[in-house]
Amino acid sequence: MPVCAAAVPCQHRARSRPETTRRPPLDSHDRLQNQQSTGHHPPRHKNSDAPRFFFFLLDPIRGSIRLSRSKKHRFLIKSMARLDLERRYAFYAAYHSNPANVLVHVVCVWPILLTAMLPLRYAPPLPLLRFYCPLCRQYLPVQLGFPVAVALGVFYALMDRRAGTAAAVLCVAGWGAGNLLADAAGLWTFRDAWRPLLTAQVVLWSAQFFAHAFFEKRRPALVDSPVQAVVTAPLFVFIEVLHRLFGYEPTPGFYKRVQARVAAMHNGPPVPEKKEEEEEKERVSKAAEEESSEKDS
């Protein structure tokens, strides 16, 4: 009687199959030889190292793009940037309230920044970077001061989109104008330029210290926060000029909030109402005790 194939146990059917030996994995040298001989490049496995590395680099960008699409995230980013600008500007405004002191800083702050960046033109140029100059009609090397001016401009633009972008353009343009003025004055080497640059720095800083001592009657912000006073002062002076001339504000009600912060810095935090009531009750009780003691005497 013929036996059905389905009735054969699984073990017999597995034994009847020919045993296949698994090929050992190819190393990188053998795989490269096979690709060169056949001309076929197999697709890279999705668990390989290179895609994993690139996805690792792209995941923060993709995540930030997904988060920035939500209105709540965009609102949080804008509010954080606004509060940071308000805090920094309030710190600067607390040290510059006198009109004469403000005028001195308007005149001196930007020249201090540009003359501080000008020695970078004498540093060795950046390797493998060239730009085409339409006036010279040739490719010129990129000096170290140019990326520094661009980075500072990007920082200003991140703090305030409108005034910061204008300040960034002014910063890069001032760097280029400083180079042209140095070439016109014959300052070809650092040995020729260090004396006039040092003199300009001493005169400009002395004028600001004089204004703080005689007009503001308060020590400069450089003493409490030197980095913030030097880096962000050009942007704040620029915003101050725009506000005085055109009534510019980074956000609606910006200067009211800044004035409230400055008042809190000068006068300290507001006293709670409960403490004021308690102090009044103590004063009344002390006055009553003094009156009773005088009557008894």
What whole-number distance in Å separates Cα of residue 25 and Cα of residue 186?
69
> Is-contact 208 229, C-beta < 8 A?
no
Q: What does DSSP assign to residue 213? A: I
69 inside domain: no
Q: Which parts of the chain register pLDDT below 70?
A: 1-83, 268-277, 295-297
pTM score of the predicted model? 0.62
3-state SS assignment for residue 28: helix
Q: Range of 125's domain?
A: 99-249
Q: Check residue 74 and give its pLDDT.
A: 56
15 inside domain: no
Q: Check residue 202 and give its pLDDT.
A: 95
209 inside domain: yes
254 inside domain: no
Q: Check residue 125 and give its pLDDT.
A: 84
170 inside domain: yes
> Is-contact 81 188, C-beta < 8 A?
no
What whole-number distance in Å separates Cα of residue 95 and Cα of residue 262?
9
Q: Check residue 109 and give its pLDDT.
A: 94
Q: Check residue 243 and give its pLDDT.
A: 93
Q: Check residue 174 and give its pLDDT.
A: 92
| 220 backbone dihedrals φ, ψ, rounded to 5° | -70, 160
Query: Total domain count for the chain?
Result: 1
